[in-house]
Amino acid sequence: MQNRIAFITGASRGIGRACALALSTAGARVVLAARQPDKLEQVASEIRAAGRDAFVAPMDLASADSIRAAFAKTAKEFGRVDILINNAAITKDGLAVRMKQADWDSVIATNLTGAFVATQQVLLGMMRERWGRIVNITSVVAEAGNAGQANYVASKAGLIGLTKSLAQEMASRNVTVNAVAPGFIDTDMTLGLGPELKERILAAIPLERLGTPDDVAAAVRFLASEEAGYITGHVLNVNGGMYM
């Protein structure tokens, strides 16, 4: 992965931050994208302090113009993107019977359409180079479903379909497209879980613990590596066994 250019969305915290650190440690030069430049700079400083290269590209996945601008900035700096990690996502939970269309639209726009637009920015370059890695971060709920999250589940299930279609389209150019489906990971997103709900979740996980961002980042790092060159269209579950 030495000197590969890796672009990570949602890189300011949680899984995205862990992916940025893991890919950087593996030798990649990382581009950190998210909505909050100050938090991105903190992650970038951490990476630079270890003597590695990090570049900040503020971006809002809900805006196609913002996505294009971030990739244009990256192209000016590096000339290409070799590895794309589509990680950024939002939630706006609620039962379907009462869900506002605005909440449906915003989650789909960010989690699915945003990932698609970001992917479009790198495809031609990867085809030209005849090498590329795209890893989409989906979720265990995309496969198992989850009450109260119809919009989020639909967006993450859509990412699995996008992964498999792109894998078929890009295989002849030596570009692999895979997905990682985390289970319940100990991040800001799960901080609000009450003790009772947390107990119920843990009871459903054979490994009897929440995952860590590093657990997910290790899977991402593998799929982005040379060693994973014969794997494409795959969904790698990182969920402690809660869905098999």
Q: What is the pLDDT of residues 17-30, one digit of tens each?
A: 999 999 999 999 99
101 burial level (CB within 10 Å; 0-12, 13-18, 19+): exposed
Q: Which of the four pLDDT bands, split at 50, 70 and 90, describes residue 189?
A: low
Q: Cβ neighbours of residue 92 under 8 Å, at least 6 residues apart?
A: 103, 106, 107, 151, 152
Active site residue 152: yes
Q: Which of 55, 131, 152, 184 is catalytic?
A: 152
The confidence score (pLDDT) of residue 187 equals: 82
Q: Looking at the DSSP assignment, which residues form a beta bridge with residue 85?
A: 8, 135
Q: Provide the percentage of residues in the chain whose pLDDT is more than 90.
A: 93
Average pLDDT over residues 224-229: 98
DSSP code for 79? S
Give dist(CA 88, CA 115) in Å, integer: 8
Residue 244 lies in a domain: no
pLDDT tens digit string along 69-108?
A: 999 999 999 999 999 999 999 999 999 999 999 999 999 9
Closest CA to 56 of 73, 32, 85: 32
pLDDT tens digit string along 164-178?
A: 999 999 999 999 999
Average pLDDT over residues 186-199: 78
Residue 10 lies in a domain: yes
Where residue 175 sits, what CATH number does that domain have? 3.40.50.720
Number of domains within the chain: 1
Average pLDDT over residues 127-155: 97
Residue 162 lies in a domain: yes
Residue 243 lies in a domain: no
Q: Cβ neighbours of residue 229 under 8 Å, at least 6 residues apart?
A: 174, 176
State the residue range of the domain holding 172: 5-238
Average pLDDT over residues 133-151: 97
Can you point out the beta strands (E) in the chain? 5-9, 29-33, 54-56, 83-86, 132-137, 175-182, 235-238
